[in-house]
Structure 1
Amino acid sequence: MKISKEIKTGILVLLGIILFIFGFNYLKGQNLLESNNVYYTEFNYNALTPSSVVTVKGNPVGKVTEIKYDYKTGKTRVAFFVNEQLVFSKNSKIRMYETGLMGGNGLAILVRKDGERAKPGDVLESEVEVGLVTSLSKNFSGLSTDLDLTLKSADTLMSNLNKLVEDDSSQGLKATIYELNETLKSFKGTSNSVNSLIGKNDANIEALLANFKTMSADLAVVITELKEANLGNTVATLNTTLANLNNVLAKVNSSDGTLGKLLQDDALYTNLEGATKELEALLQDIKLHPKRYFRILSKKEIPYQEPQTN
């Protein structure tokens, strides 16, 4: 069977169209020979481009196919396809993230297995992960503000320092430095005087140190002798003696025994006082009438009479 040139030309054109469509989709990241499922998600702004990568745990599993602005909701609807072998539930989230420091964003599927299985055409919940470059760009304004305030503070400090240095009054820095120099000079003179005094009295200082050394040696000998003298036993004996003395004093205070009664009993004191008075009267009577007590001097008995008091 002979094929005409028109048929051959049509077949070539058709094959060219098919190859063009296949190549165009392949360049977009979509392989027409693979079975893919299309899903949707929405963001408050657009930072994606068609053919942006879709990953799962860092592995590419699909591409972004379409980006449209929804005039009713004011959000950006993103369509993306993944291989039909990827199974996840409707509770999974779609995260937009920066793919590198040089820019560019992609989608990551945070796969979850719980809940109802996601079907092609479902709209999945989305979130945005702030990247390093975006975070730095947002924080740079605050950093620049703080840097500006720091520079202003530094400028004010330098201005005040210049005023302090240029101040020629009695409270200025120059006057303070001058007074400090004078103080240092005085201290230097005092130091020289002290050095001279020490130099003149080297012999006395050496003798003083020698005496101190001898005294330290003697003190060490005394301490050694005290240790060898069994001072602990002496102290123990003294404590025992003091305890016995305390017992004796306690008995005296408690009116036990002769000495305690003598100190505590008023009647004994009264009797002693009466006996003393009677003895005194007896001695006085003997002095006045010796014949009464010594019969040799008088044979006549002389009765006792109370002495007359003036």
Structure 2
Amino acid sequence: MKVSNETKVGILTIFALTVLVLGFNFLKNKDLFRNKKLIYAVFPNLGGLSRSNEVKVNGYLIGTVYKMTKKDKNADQFIVSINLNEEVNIPKDSKAIISSPLVGSWYINIEKGKDNDFLKIGDTLQSKLDMGILDDVKAQLTPTLEKVRGSLDTLNILLNNVNGLLSSEAKANLHQAVANLNQSSSSLKSLLDAETGLIAKTINSANEFINGIKKNAENINATVLNVKTTSEKLAKLEVQPVIDSLQATISLLKSSAEKITNKNGSLGALMHDKSLYDNLNRTIIKAQTLIDDLRVHPKRYVNLSIFGKKDKGDYLNLPIGDSAFIEKKQ
């Protein structure tokens, strides 16, 4: 039987469409000849997730994203259908996280929990919002970029102010200041060159002094040892008895001073009563005069007829010194 050209074209078209559908689904990791094993996860934000993106458990591929639909008209949450290609025990407390690598497509990563009960086909996973690496970097860089932008604005204002200040006269003054600075630097260099010899001599003197100390190190050590020994001996001395003795002496002196300054005592009365002092002074003068008269004229007071007659000379009115007494006897 002869097949017409139209029939051939129709068969080829159907075959091409079938291959196209099968190839497209193969590229999207869909198997049209297997039943779907779907579990679900609800996310408030899908990020860059799309259909046929991978679903992994601890980095191992277990399925793909089959479908994404909004939960309600408000589009506040989205239901993601996950088609499992392999049978994996997923604890019920596991969490689905949308991750965004630096390179490659977005994917869903399932963090396994510790529950002993496992998810069944048709169950819903708990979800966890993960900002992803790019979002983390963006969140961390945003404050820094704001600060940099503010700094650039401030720098721009500062440069504008500087440009405004740098008039022709200001620029001339600035050039003059730079020239003066160069001249001062040259003068300072000349001064330092002239003082180099003095600095070298000072350093040599310091080295000689240090060498002298090194040579006399033994004597210095001996002196330090002697001082240390003396200090130890002084520390071992019984200082308390000396202190007690000094304290007793001070107390005695204080008591004597109080007695002297007290008007009721003899010394105190003598010090404070001038009339008593004058009477005592006159009494002492009279007593001294009497003693001198006794020495000069002993026969006046002791008269023995055997040795001679009584001395009838004048009496002394004032005391005389020892030198005058010796001259009178001679």
Shift of 1:60: 0.4
| Matched residue, 2:38 | 38
1:91 counterpart = 2:93 = yes
CA distance in 1 between counterparts of 2:256 and 2:92 reads 114
TM-score by length of structure 1 reads 0.58
**Preserved contact between residue 95 and residue 128 of structure 1 (Cα < 8 Å):** yes
Shift of 1:94: 1.4
| Matched residue, 1:112 | 113
| Matched residue, 1:202 | none
Moved more, 175-184 or 137-146: 137-146
| Matched residue, 1:174 | 175
Summarize the Cα distance change of 1:193–1:26 in structure 2 as closer, same or farther, 3 Å threshold. closer
Shift of 1:56: 0.3
Deviations along 1:67-122, one digit per CA (max 9) or x if unpaired, are: 22344352332211225632224332211112x43442111222224275422222
- Percent of paired sites with the same residue: 20
Of 67, 77, 80, 2:79 maps to 77
| Matched residue, 2:155 | 154
CA distance in 2 between counterparts of 1:294 and 1:261 reads 48
1:60 counterpart = 2:65 = no
CA distance in 2 between counterparts of 1:122 and 1:228 reads 91
Paired letter, 1:38: L
CA distance in 1 between counterparts of 2:163 and 2:256 reads 96
Paired letter, 2:44: N
Q: How many residues align?
A: 272
CA distance in 2 between counterparts of 1:89 and 1:241 reads 87
SS of 2:181 mapped into structure 1:
helix
**Preserved contact between residue 94 and residue 110 of structure 1 (Cα < 8 Å):** yes
**Preserved contact between residue 169 and residue 175 of structure 1 (Cα < 8 Å):** no
CA distance in 1 between counterparts of 2:301 and 2:221 reads 70
Of 294, 303, 327, 1:295 maps to 303
| Matched residue, 2:134 | 133
**Preserved contact between residue 40 and residue 82 of structure 2 (Cα < 8 Å):** yes
Q: Which ranges of structure 1 fall in alignment gaps of 5 or more residues?
A: 1-11, 199-204
CA distance in 2 between counterparts of 1:76 and 1:42 reads 5
Deviations along 1:248-301, one digit per CA (max 9) or x if unpaired, are: 65554454xxx999888767869x999997664333014346244453687669
Shift of 1:57: 0.4
TM-score by length of structure 2 reads 0.55
Deviations along 1:130-188, one digit per CA (max 9) or x if unpaired, are: 23334455666666554443333333343444456556359953343344345446646
| Matched residue, 1:283 | 288
